């Protein structure tokens, strides 16, 4: 009998329970993938984990407005991209203030061969040399597998701009990664 009474308080509790459940489901499915995506954007695993952690907390806070896993994933991804951009900009600000150079690219992989590690560092460094938009478009396209329309949505730019950034970015990457481009069967 009592369960038939829906109080405002009771409803609020159900909503927050939903958000917790959703958060965990999203975490299980996307935590590792999003951290990897953020590593490609910021070039540092520690920073990447912070960025993605913040994005998860923020998504939990917005669950009432998102209310569906697909929208939540799109929001998460967009937040990771935005916060990665902030993290890079902020690192530059601190570096300028301290008048020191930026930290070297930090990549794990103790188990891999020297050749593998060199190639991976070269890819991260090459991405870091691109303008923000080109790097974001290439990573969302070729790592996250998003369509041009989805990238345009995530970045808040037109599909025409996505095309332009993609073609300029991949031309530049081709130059920067010339030694690794032809190793089709490595």
Partner 1 sequence: MNDDRLSWLLEDAVSEVEPADRLPEIRSRARPSRRRWVYAGGALVAAAATVAAVAVVDRDAPDRALDPVVQPTASPSPEPSEQVEAVLPLLYWVGDAPRGDLLFSERTFLNLGYGETLLHAAVRTVIEGSPIDPDYRSAWRDVQLVSARDTGSTVRVTTTMDADKIPFEAALQVANTVYALLGQRVEIEFASADQGFPTVYRFGVLQSDDLVVLSPVQVEYPIEGQEVSGTFTASGLANSYEATVPWRVEDVEGAVVLEGFATAEGWMDRLYPWETDVDVSGLEPGTYTFVASTADPSGGAEGAGPTTDTRTVYVR
- Compute the C-alpha angle 156/136/150, nearest 5°: 45
Shortest distance, position 1 Cβ to partner 1, whole Å: 30
Please report where in the chains the tokens 């597998």 appear, as a residue. 145
Shortest distance, position 59 Cβ to partner 1, whole Å: 9
Q: What is the dihedral of CA 103, 109, 113, 115, to 10 degrees?
A: -40
Shortest distance, position 93 Cβ to partner 1, whole Å: 5
Footprint of partner 1 on this chain (CB under 8 A)? 16, 19-20, 23-24, 27, 31-32, 35-37, 39-40, 45, 48-50, 52-53, 56-57, 60-61, 82-87, 89-94, 96-97, 107-109, 111-112, 116, 119-120, 123-124, 138-139, 142-143, 145, 155-158, 160-161, 170, 173-174, 177, 180-181, 184
Shortest distance, position 112 Cβ to partner 1, whole Å: 6
Tell me how far CA of residue 121 lies from CA of 36, 148, 155, 181, in angstroms.
14, 27, 26, 14
Q: Name which of 53 and 71 has its Cβ closer to partner 1.
A: 53
Q: Name which of 4 and 110 has its Cβ closer to partner 1.
A: 110
Please report where in the chains the tokens 């900009």 appear, as a residue. 89
Alpha-helix residue ranges (DSSP H) falling in the chain: 8-42, 45-61, 63-66, 69-98, 114-128, 132-142, 148-155, 159-176, 178-181
């Amino acid at each position: 009998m009592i369960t038939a009474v829906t109080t405002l308080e009771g409803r609020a509790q159900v909503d927050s329970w939903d958000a917790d459940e959703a958060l965990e489901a999203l975490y299980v499915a996307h935590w590792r993938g999003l951290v990897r995506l953020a590593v490609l954007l910021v070039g540092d695993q520690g920073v990447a984990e912070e960025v993605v952690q913040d994005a998860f907390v923020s998504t939990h806070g917005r669950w009432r407005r998102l209310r569906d896993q697909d929208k939540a994933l799109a929001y998460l991804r967009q937040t990771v991209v935005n916060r990665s951009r902030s993290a890079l900009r902020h690192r530059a600000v601190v570096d300028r203030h301290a008048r020191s150079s930026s930290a070297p690219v930090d990549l794990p992989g103790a188990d891999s061969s020297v050749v593998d590690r060199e190639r991976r560092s070269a890819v991260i460094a090459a991405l870091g040399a691109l303008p923000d938009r080109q790097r974001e478009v290439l990573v969302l396209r070729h790592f996250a597998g998003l369509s041009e329309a989805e990238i345009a949505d995530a970045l808040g730019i037109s599909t025409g701009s996505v095309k332009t950034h993609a073609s300029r970015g991949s031309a530049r990457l081709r130059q920067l990664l010339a030694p690794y481009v032809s190793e089709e069967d490595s």
